[in-house]
Structure 1
């Protein structure tokens, strides 16, 4: 399993989750409201998805569009409720007005997560200094993944950055130990270069839904990604 690229798929409900698992997804990111780029789902939705599939679930902790934390106390309450429901993996990431990591908000939430594994999401693509942000976050417990396109504009623009960060990870540079999970305008034709560069994590949302966000995840679409990753993108 260690050499197999991880495929994470966005799921909005149990139907999505079942389809994604059937297509070969390794993990799901659970969100609601994609019009706001993905917010925290309800406890009930989490419970239904958890009952429907047996692959890992990462729950988004985000209450409003954008990258500001907003009401940190409300975020902490939501995290506590999700933990009580059984959630044990999460996705989060907040910036301050200057474009730096909002460490106060992140550290409050991470303390509430109590060692659970978590992804720092695409806030990394909006941060003023990616390398500095990674070094700031490096010692926080549970951080094992960065979800990033390498650029706010998506993987097309961010490819060089992603390959440079994968190389930094291979060199063992501080702050680069968490897995690179590439997502945001990701297409199948990006896969060969990313795999060759050492990227071992891929995240898809719209690509798993050829009929659009109003339609459910397509098992066949997910299977096409699983096959491409397992065959080295050929």
Structure 2
């Protein structure tokens, strides 16, 4: 048995190195502020790697959007699918701080791609209500979360409690937000099997460096070891 290891990538070289280290999936962004990449970059990454690619769909800072932007977002999502992406990463909140089911529904009207909700859920006004809304949306199979709008160091206890209380949540969680090695055993015991690393995949955590295959491999080994250990009778 093994878990799912997702690595944040900025370009094709990152993707190649993540695959070499044993990653299962790339979360591709177009810039360090987490914006949507150009479809041409998705094509380059697709040519460079055989593992799954999920592409960030966001055109502005924060988790808000508006009706005028939805047309552009739908066009980008279609372009990403045509370029070889396996899925989308997105998440939007409305003016009340709730999951924007209307916008997400409009984006999900076309295509059949699976998607990951990004950490919008952590910034929702009522996270319990946000999770209920997400679980009712079509084709959602993963949710990036730290259990806190800050990071896992601050949200781990809440995230563990949520996963223990509802196995459906644990199955969808991608533990994300400055994941540390010491968090992994606790998360695995709570039913989490998917993990996201960003700067932790780079030497000294520097964004000036490419993804390091050896660092990715160390995470791969840790996650798989913990999942196998937990699965023993």
Unaligned segments of structure 1, at least 5 residues: none
2:123 alignment partner in structure 1: 126
Unaligned segments of structure 2, at least 5 residues: none
Deviating above 4 A after TM superposition, structure 1's stretches of 4 or more consecutive aligned residues are none
Contact map agreement 2:152 2:179 (CA 8 A) in 1: yes
TM-score, normalised by the number of residues in structure 2: 0.91
Tell me by how many angstroms 1:43 deviates: 1.0
Root-mean-square deviation over aligned CA pairs: 1.7
**In the alignment, which of 3, 14, 18 is matched to residue 12 of structure 2?**
14
What's the secondary structure of 1:188's corresponding residue? coil
TM-score, normalised by the number of residues in structure 1: 0.91
Contact map agreement 1:115 1:141 (CA 8 A) in 2: no
What's the secondary structure of 1:217's corresponding residue? coil
**In the alignment, which of 26, 33, 42 is matched to residue 28 of structure 1?**
26
What's the secondary structure of 1:9's corresponding residue? strand
Establish whether residue 66 from structure 1 lines up as the match of residue 62 from structure 2: yes
1:164 alignment partner in structure 2: 161
Task: Map residues 195-214 of structure 1 onto 2, 5 A cutoff.
Answer: 195-211=188-204, 212-214=206-208
Tell me by how many angstroms 1:178 deviates: 5.0
Tell me by how many angstroms 1:103 deviates: 1.5
1:155 alignment partner in structure 2: 152
2:113 alignment partner in structure 1: 116
For residues 174-211 of structure 1, what are the alpha-carbon distances to aligned partners after superposition, in whole Å with 9 as ceiling and x for unaligned?
Answer: xx375110011111121111112221110001100124
Structure-2 separation of matches of 1:102 and 1:25: 31
